[in-house]
Structure 1
């Protein structure tokens, strides 16, 4: 592809969209990007700021995404080909076949979903499919899948992932919500609470981490719990910093009866099941967060090209250029890293990627949170008073600034992930040393 001659605000698009050479993208990826840009721009990006201001993405937008088969791409690659074909979802936008979809297609989709610069509107449409459905597809029994997957994949029903609790955030092994079998062993009786559950207020079902056994990770299981029209379940929308449209929810279970057939996989395997989805979740967050940082920096640059102070445009001030240079360098470095991770995931078997990339994916998610934080701060400072105002020229920047902490906490808080990354890398290193030593003795 030749270098584009179009005038594009610096840092506003990934390099491959400016026509710069890249080893990653095929014609299939470029066609998919154009299809995503067209649909998402019209049906999400154009109104995202207005919806965030109002605190709600209209329900018909979810239905519109479902009807256009723009929910399925939230799932980990490879997509569930058999289910997609069975449900008539085998072709995505731009003529992309589900069997061709890889993690670079996912990267493109997640990047386009974040192009408004806001986390909430996209999260309101994607989180349930991206994180609530995969455990059912990977580990659910055939019967469980037959009961729920058709409605979930087609968007006739919505889901959420319910792991975090008031006393157990990143400490998943500390979950206290109990699921005890009834006397006749036909039901689980669930008691406990979940907090900060994205999309929970709209979800029909929650893929829920519960304690079916003793303390620690070995006592955890996953249950699919119906949420609607149950007097034993309380759903309360939470007001949080930023993410006004994401449907953050407090869920309380008070003697909730759930059929044993709703167990996902095997009792006691919940922690392992949860861990298998973390690479996908953390990469998704990192991609969206990096685009958000990109929007902050490029919007600030566009502003200082027009804003005059002290008799000249702000861009003529060396200190302004210095701030933009530092933030822009962080954004482009971050994007190169998420591209690399996405490519690696597209080339590796899942079990190999989980093992080799688990620590690095935690690191890339944590690092992206710091990048958007610094980028948002840079933008607020360059916008000055306008960057502090929830209206007018700086409204988007002020929203991004409030969103930034939400990139550093969900999906594993920053400090936990930094520690996890090193522990995983050291564990893999030591394992390989032991394997080399065994081989040398043969």
Structure 2
């Protein structure tokens, strides 16, 4: 049986048969493993789940059973914890110590092939961004209490930062955590909004105000959610990612043990900002795949759809639109690949310092690329691209994902500003270090 020729833009270049300097045999094997599992767990009904706005209750447990949740964690993986819990390999025989950020890129790219961040986000978002603060900043005692259940999927967690009045402006968080008179509990009051996976989560890694105004007054707590007195949760209906369980959380005198503090009191802003780097990079990867799906679907449609006696592809204006969007798509992917490769060569400290601002920029650019590709797809599909069924459904659905790419994880304008401020900060720091080095005595010239 002959293999079908792939539609242009339908896969990243390295999966279109073109050479790449980034991927080794481990990455190629991992890609095949991920594709097989996504084809089994998500692709058959992913579109249907997104239309319905929910996923089956057992989807999370299926991912747990396949040991397919752990790749959501930032690389390198928490190897000591995994091996202690008897987890030595990921699906396909990939050893946990060999997992790097290119494996992360492959995993996230494959998970987004459903054409929505909803079905995949329903199982991945919570653990991907809620568990890392505990692993990175939590005390050994805190990790002992929470990591075994969370990393094995026996319990679920989400990340809870955003509030009705505090989105990208994290320093404006108003949810308070005041110590009880006996000093044994934080009493938490406030609300959190747009919290992905909140509905199903036993806990939240939550940003709260334990001190005065501004960033120095923020801390992070592990706050119990499901079946907890004082916690009320309801689903929020959103335009895209409808199946991901977007949640509004109200907290009314919720008692949280003092021992649930993540790290050091007053350091919450630093923890939140560092945690954002992993989130923004994975958003960039997944959003690029959505853009790829939209554009390649339109490309395929234009090859067969006729208008004015010609296929759409024979119309110069159509080719022009595809070309402009394709250039944006592949330029962004090349940057994300390069960026991810750099992550495999830098320490966590170096990556946060050198790439933190650029991560924000890559995330912002991902949303702009998705808008260009999704808009192009809708226009080229015509009426079909404005319809929630039929051959243009994929374009209509992905177009609704655009705001979900440009706002969560730090809204676009904030990301653009953050990127430049971080680049200026790094430039000034390196200039100061260079000046100090130049002024340092070089020693005597006497023999």
CA deviations on 1:64-84 (whole Å, 9 max, x unpaired) are 111111100000000000111
Q: Distance in 1 between matches of 2:103 and 2:92?
A: 12
* 2:182 aligned with 1:151: no
Q: In 2, are the aligned partners of 1:221 and 1:268 still within 8 Å (CA)?
A: yes
Q: Distance in 2 between matches of 1:310 and 1:151?
A: 62
The residue that corresponds to 1:75 in the other structure is 73
Q: Distance in 1 between matches of 2:88 and 2:371?
A: 39
Q: Distance in 2 between matches of 1:347 and 1:326?
A: 33
The residue that corresponds to 1:220 in the other structure is 218
CA deviations on 1:8-31 (whole Å, 9 max, x unpaired) are 100000011112111100000000
* 2:279 aligned with 1:295: no
> Any gaps of 5 or more consecutive residues in structure 2?
441-447
Q: Distance in 1 between matches of 2:281 and 2:76?
A: 15
Q: CA deviation at 1:88?
A: 2.0
Q: Distance in 2 between matches of 1:38 and 1:127?
A: 21
Q: CA deviation at 1:5?
A: 8.0
1:190-339 equivalence runs, <5 A? 190-339=188-337
Among 60, 63, 66, the residue aligned to 2:64: 66
Q: CA deviation at 1:231?
A: 3.3
CA deviations on 1:272-295 (whole Å, 9 max, x unpaired) are 111111111100000000000000
Stretch of structure 1 that moved more, 101-110 or 115-124: 115-124
**TM-score under structure 2 normalisation?**
0.97
The residue that corresponds to 1:422 in the other structure is 420
Q: CA deviation at 1:413?
A: 0.3
Among 1, 4, 9, the residue aligned to 2:7: 9
The residue that corresponds to 1:409 in the other structure is 407
Q: CA deviation at 1:439?
A: 1.1
The residue that corresponds to 1:110 in the other structure is 108
Q: CA deviation at 1:306?
A: 1.3
**TM-score under structure 1 normalisation?**
0.98
Among 160, 166, 169, the residue aligned to 1:162: 160
Q: Distance in 1 between matches of 2:87 and 2:325?
A: 40
CA deviations on 1:387-421 (whole Å, 9 max, x unpaired) are 11111111121110011111000000000000000
Among 328, 347, 350, the residue aligned to 1:349: 347
What secondary structure, in the 3-state scheme, does the structure 2 residue paired with 1:191 have? strand
Stretch of structure 1 that moved more, 315-324 or 138-147: 138-147
Q: In 2, are the aligned partners of 1:124 and 1:199 still within 8 Å (CA)?
A: yes
What secondary structure, in the 3-state scheme, does the structure 1 residue paired with 2:392 have? helix
What secondary structure, in the 3-state scheme, does the structure 2 residue paired with 1:197 have? strand
> Any gaps of 5 or more consecutive residues in structure 1?
none
What secondary structure, in the 3-state scheme, does the structure 2 residue paired with 1:245 have? helix
CA deviations on 1:71-128 (whole Å, 9 max, x unpaired) are 0000000000011112222201111000000000000000000011211111111101
CA deviations on 1:296-352 (whole Å, 9 max, x unpaired) are 000000111111111121111111111111111111111101101110011100000
Q: In 2, are the aligned partners of 1:67 and 1:154 still within 8 Å (CA)?
A: no
> Cα RMSD (Å) of the superposition?
1.1
CA deviations on 1:243-299 (whole Å, 9 max, x unpaired) are 110111100100000111111111001111111111111000000000000000000
Q: Distance in 2 between matches of 1:45 and 1:436?
A: 53
